Amino acid sequence: MFRFLVQRLLGAALILFVVFTVTFFLFFAMPDDPARLSCGKTCTPETLALIRRDLGLDASVPMQYWHYIVGVFAGRDFGSSHCSAPCLGYSFVNHEPVLDTLLDRFPATLSLALGASVIFLGGGIMIGMLAALRRGTWLDKSTMAFSLIGASVTIQFLGVIARYVLVDELRWLPKPEYLPFTDDPGGWTGGLLLPWLTLACVQAAVYARLTRASMIDALGEDHVRTVRAKGLTSRQVYFKHAWRGAITPVVTVYGIELGVLLGGAVVTETTFNIPGIGKLAVNAVANSDLPMITGVVLIAATAMVLANVAVDAVYAVIDPRVRV
């Protein structure tokens, strides 16, 4: 197990390195000069040169790449500001190290992802199992129809309509906003309720369909048939044996999904104005904030790669057939 994890983590690091390198060089194709944008209206050539030097933009692209890598391990200085290791660059728009901003925005994204996960995993798996158990009945058909619609609706549409009906008109839910959990747990829950439900509605559908399908598969497998033949009750078959096989694809899909979500649910965060990684990315693109874009891509890729490793590890635990 230990060797397996180390192996996977090394592989992950390598992938991240490649992702980073590709990102870095791709974005240096950007036509906007970051120094020029930072310089503003009354820009003199001296100021421009100063900013360029401070941001380390006076070096050649390969040298800048090297500086960046050194910065990650040893930290570096940008003009009068120090960016300590691991330094992911310095945003000339926000005037602070990229990592600081990322860490600052991450709790919002994490809150959104985890809260929504609880709802859509719980809801989706339950609906899926019920549907599998009552296969062919109206319950199965109607939940699956609902899932299909849920999986097909776009967040930007559902979010706005839900907000209009549930918040503005009926006033059943508090207005969507992000308040840090540590400041105000009640406000955190209330403000995120609508974003969670919206995101969960779309996601739960996927898990319901997935759970139902894999549950049906699992019920047909040899070892489940065997235990059933031995005379165990349906309930025992269901909850002791079949779910193990059924849960594996759910874990796989969820692992990847979580990785994506932790990299920022861009549309959800934009629709509800949650100051997370996704919103940060949209802003960074709008501001041509190169170091920030690179940083966001890097952290999102990290989340995805780590989620994949985690999925592999969880596999090993829940599915005895997977040998590591």
Partner 1 sequence: MNPRRRPTRLTRTALATLALTLGATACSGGGGSPDSKGPAKGAPKAQVRAVSIGAAAESKGPAKELAGAKPGGTATVLERADFNHLDPARVYVSHEQTAELLISRQLTTYKQEGDHTTLVGDLATDTGTSPDGGKTWTFTLKDGLKYEDGSPITAQDVKYGIERSFAKEITGGPTWIQEWLVGNSDFRSVYDGPYGGRELDAIKTPDARTITFALPAPRGDFPFAVAMHTSTPVPRAKDTKLEYDKHPFSSGPYKISAREIDKSMTMVRNEHWDPNTDAVRHAYPDQWKFEFGASNQQINERLIAANGGDRTAMTFRVAVGREVAQQVLTTPDLKARTADAATPYTEYFEINNRRQTNPKVRQALIAAFPKEQVRQILGGPAYGEFATTLMGPTVLGFEPFDLAGVPNTGDPAKAKQLLAEAGTPNPTITYAYNQTPLWEQVSVTIVQALQQAGFKVVPQPINDKSYYTEIGRMDNKYDLYWSGWGADWPSAATVLPAKFDGRKIIDDGSVYNLYNNPAMSTEMDRITAMSDVVAAGKEWSNLEKKIMAESPVVPFVYRRQLTLYGPGLGGVRVGFIGSTYPIDVWVK
Partner 2 sequence: MTTLAPPTDPPVAPDPPAADTAPTGLRPSQLAWRRFRRDRTGIVAACVVAVFVVAGLGAPLFAKWYGHDPYTTYGQNRPGLLNEFGFPVAPNGGMSGEFWLGLEPGLGRDVLTQLLYGIRTSLLISLAVVAIVTVLGVLVGVTAGYLGGGADYLVGRVIDVMLSFPSTLFFIAFTPVVTSLLTHPGEQMSPLLRGAVIVAVLSAFGWASVARLLRGQVLSLRSREYVEAARVIGASPGRVVLRELLPNLVTPILVSASMAVPTYVTTEAALSYLGVGMVEPTPDWGRMLLKGAEVYRTDITYMCVPGISMLVFVVAFNLFGDSVRDALDPKSDR
**CB nearer partner 2, residue 8 or residue 76:** 8
Q: Which amino acid is residue 12, in one-letter code?
A: A
Q: How many CA atoms lie within 13 A of 92 on its CB side?
A: 24
Distance (Å, whole) CA 19 – CA 26 = 11
Provide Rg for the chain, Cα atoms. Answer: 24
Residues 205-244 that bind partner 1 (CB under 8 A): none
Q: At what angle do helices 98-133 and 138-152 cross, to 10 degrees?
A: 160
Residues 211-240 that bind partner 2 (CB under 8 A): 212-214, 216, 219-220, 225, 228-229, 234
Beta-strand runs (E) in the chain: 76-78, 81-83, 90-91, 96-97
> Which of the ranges 32-40, 217-225, 230-238, 243-251 carries the binding residues for partner 1, by CB under 8 A?
32-40
Give the SS3 label for residue 74: helix
- Shortest distance, position 184 Cβ to partner 2, whole Å: 27
Q: Which residues of 116-141 are buried (b: 16+ CB within 10 A; e: fewer)?
A: bbebbbebbbebbbbbbbeeeeeebe
- Shortest distance, position 67 Cβ to partner 2, whole Å: 21
Binds partner 1 (CB under 8 A): choice among 19, 50, 314, 324 = 50
**CB nearer partner 1, residue 49 or residue 316:** 49
- Shortest distance, position 51 Cβ to partner 2, whole Å: 21
In total, the chain counts a number of residues equal to: 324
Total binding residues for partner 1 by CB under 8 A?
32
Give the SS3 label for residue 32: coil
Place of tokens 């690179």: 294
Please choose which of partner 2, partner 1, none residue 283 contacts, taking the beta carbon within 5 to 8 angstroms, the exact cut-off set by kind.
partner 1
Please report whether residue 5 would count as binding partner 2 according to CB under 8 A: no
Q: Cβ distance 84 to 246 under 8 Å?
A: no
Q: Cβ distance 277 to 264 under 8 Å?
A: yes
Please report whether residue 87 would count as binding partner 2 according to CB under 8 A: no
Binds partner 1 (CB under 8 A): choice among 168, 240, 317, 318 = 168
Please choose which of partner 2, partner 1, none residue 234 contacts, taking the beta carbon within 5 to 8 angstroms, the exact cut-off set by kind.
partner 2
242: its two tokens: 């079949």
Residues 253-292 that bind partner 1 (CB under 8 A): 273, 275, 279, 283, 286-288
- Sorted by sequence, the CB contacts under 8 Å of residue 209 that are 6+ apart come out as 128, 144, 147, 148, 151
Q: Which residues sit at the interface with partner 2, rule CB under 8 A?
A: 11, 15-16, 18-19, 22, 26-27, 29-32, 132-133, 135-136, 148-149, 151-154, 156-157, 160-161, 164, 168, 209-210, 212-214, 216, 219-220, 225, 228-229, 234, 260, 263-264, 266-267, 270-271, 278, 281-282, 284-286, 293, 296-297, 300-301, 303-305, 308
